Each structure stands twice: as C-alpha cells, then as structure tokens.
Amino acid sequence: MVNKTEQYKPTYLKAFTLRDIKDISEIRNDIEKHMILIIRITPLAHRDVDDLRVVVEDLYKCVNSLGGDISRLGEERIIITPPSVKIWHKGNDTNL
C-alpha cells in the first residue's frame, strides 16, 4: 500500500516582492523547483522601470524554456506557473 504523501509531490505556491534586480536569482531558483510564484512588482517598478523590464524579459525566457506559464495579475503582480499548471488566457477556452 502506498502512503498518500508518496503518491504525489506537492506544488508549492510562494508570494514574493520584487524589490531589486538582484532578486532574479532567487526567483529563477524557485521557477526551477516548479513552484507557483505570485510576484509583486510595484516596488521595483516605482524605482526603475528599465530594471523591471529586464527582469520580466529574463523571467519570461526562463519560464518558457521550462514549459511553464507567466502572466500579469493586474497592474501590481505577475504569476508564474510550472509546466503542470497552465494560466487561462482569453481565447484559450477552445483547448478545454
């Protein structure tokens, strides 16, 4: 008989506040661990929009290379999901 905890590996959800471009390494590590991330981008956006653009572009490439998904959650947050979790986008309902 298989123990319930051995049947599946849990997916963790982590909330994170992006304050500096240096935070990208921690976020990339979490992406590689297949975590679901909700990232508040407002602090960096208020400080340096160019740094924010660099971070988001880098995260987009990292997520896509692993088969995950990334999307905005309003004006202040982005969500990143592992390959096993897809984000519904308008027009995607034909795949359901």
- pLDDT per residue as tens digits for the range 37-91: 999 999 999 999 999 999 999 999 999 999 999 999 999 999 999 999 999 887 7
Give yes or no for residue 1 having a pLDDT over 60.
no
pLDDT of residue 72: 94
Task: Please state at what angle helix 49-66 crosses helix 24-32, rounded to 10 degrees.
Answer: 20
Q: Which whole-number Å values give the CA distances from 75 to 11, 14, 43, 70, 78, in the listed order?
A: 26, 19, 12, 14, 8
DSSP-derived secondary structure letter, 14 = E
Residue 94 has pLDDT above 90, yes or no: no
Residue ranges of domains in the chain, CATH in brackets = 10-88 (3.30.110.150)
Tell me the mean pLDDT in the region 4-12. 77
Alpha carbon distance 48, 86 (integer Å): 30
Pairing of strands 69-73, 36-40: unpaired
d(CA 94, CA 10): 28
